[in-house]
Structure 1
């Protein structure tokens, strides 16, 4: 049975579910140093300085030899090998939570990395080297936290993040990236005035305490709040009259950010979409976009939607990919309903999808559109 080494909190060693006794704090410090540099030789002088400080007592070297011997026994044969004037702990880095954390962050999985953190890293271990290491790891944890927050904002979790980010911003009031995240969460939670107020507070605090202005990213976010027209298009055609039935299909339309309504001609796909859209219009306060895609070039539709969202013609970039990027940027902090009627295929729809699940997309088509279901998680409703 393999060992698991936990240092992102009070250090522990586990073998299966059992806690392994690895001795007192000084002996545990020796193990922690070897874990940080797992599979690398740590010189005896370095070990002494890290565990006892820059001026270790005369008996420290003898104590080190004793601690290493006891650790070998406690770890049941896990090799701590003497080499080239030092020691190396030979172990799988994945068995050490610090190295798993760093690997997950490097692979773009900060949420999983943060789940490994149990408290203050290397809690209870003292000395200048451990104090510096704690600060380094704390910065890595903060960076992972910020990356994870960006991912959660991109997934539309604005409202659920407001309280959490407000508390973090209170403890780190001059962190501009964090301030920007809080502002984005407030915007997404329909609290624009609070976002503007937070920017104003930060600007004054930066000026008073550091003599600085907010950086360009924060200034751009503030400018987008102040200058961007808050157009809320209402493009839905009139609601169908005399609509009855379809309770199961209407209920299915409530599930998921993208829904497809498919079936042969004459089955009432558009009527169903419009009836549901008008019934839920109030849930999308930033507006409603509608287009009949029959024979339409999606690039033309993107430009039309950009214009409907308040962009002047001279502000629309010429390249189609840049237009799509602008379209998704305009939708990023809005809660809108988008109805795409009579889609020919998945390729016609994909450029019109927003980049945030805060918006709801309803697509009607005679085709089943499997690409939207498999690649974009659309919920199919078949008539």
Structure 2
């Protein structure tokens, strides 16, 4: 198979779909790889590095899309990229379609086969291709929140860990999944007063056992969210419904009642955000203020630490890329129900029920199309 790796074009996005090491693995399996020039330059992977392992370097994204049977990316294809997709071409990347009707309709129109990292599942029930970026985003959320609390950014002027004689900041983490746990780990390490909320009591038991009283666990209800958001200096939104739009757990009225200068870091923004006041921002212009509350809603947070993120993501995606290339997408998807769960769009049809529900679009069972 001929695999194409275009350069990412989203604002301040320096990650790359495949590292030279990953390309080398594909070539060792007998495949060809074409990489757009400078695709990895932002994180220290030169064209020469890719050529050294056998990749061909293309002068433009258009050449990559025109030649490749499978496109491997990191972020969702932008409008100019979607226009280059063709019938039966395989796209393997993050999509986050539920809050993005324009992208969804473009992908349906293209006739391409679109497998989304974020809805591939594992036999243990996890999301193995979302997990590494959730780890990064959760850890970055505390860094971003600490900066947002600085007075120069519009924040309260509060240090997360406090100092002797001055108490620490109160951090409320909504969601005890991969994002929430990693955010809590960083916040506890910095000495903050941390409360984490989740609706799964087994998750809360596991977190409580792990931290031995270093943080507080609270069952998530409308009332408990309201209480702990209003008390917080920093709120981390880490909720996730796989494939679906994020629930709006922080209402506009609740934001109005928050402390002046407090901050929300909405890590759920890729799926539309869990605060009614959230809107996607970029690394170039990451924050805005609503009702004296600082909002950080960067939709590609892990792109801020692009080298670490790329390598972590490749560790997870490479086995799937090899499988898709070795077997072809039809056989690979038929053989593996967990990879098949990643199929969102195929041959002009939407195949992800959660996206269909969010956007009011009819869906088709993947097996119907694959058969």
Note whether the superposition's TM-score is higher than 0.5.
no
In the superposition, the TM-score normalised over structure 2's length comes to: 0.24
Task: Write 1 or 2 for the structure with the bigger share of helix.
Answer: 1
Question: Which has the higher Rg, Structure 1 or Structure 2?
Answer: 1
In the superposition, the TM-score normalised over structure 1's length comes to: 0.23
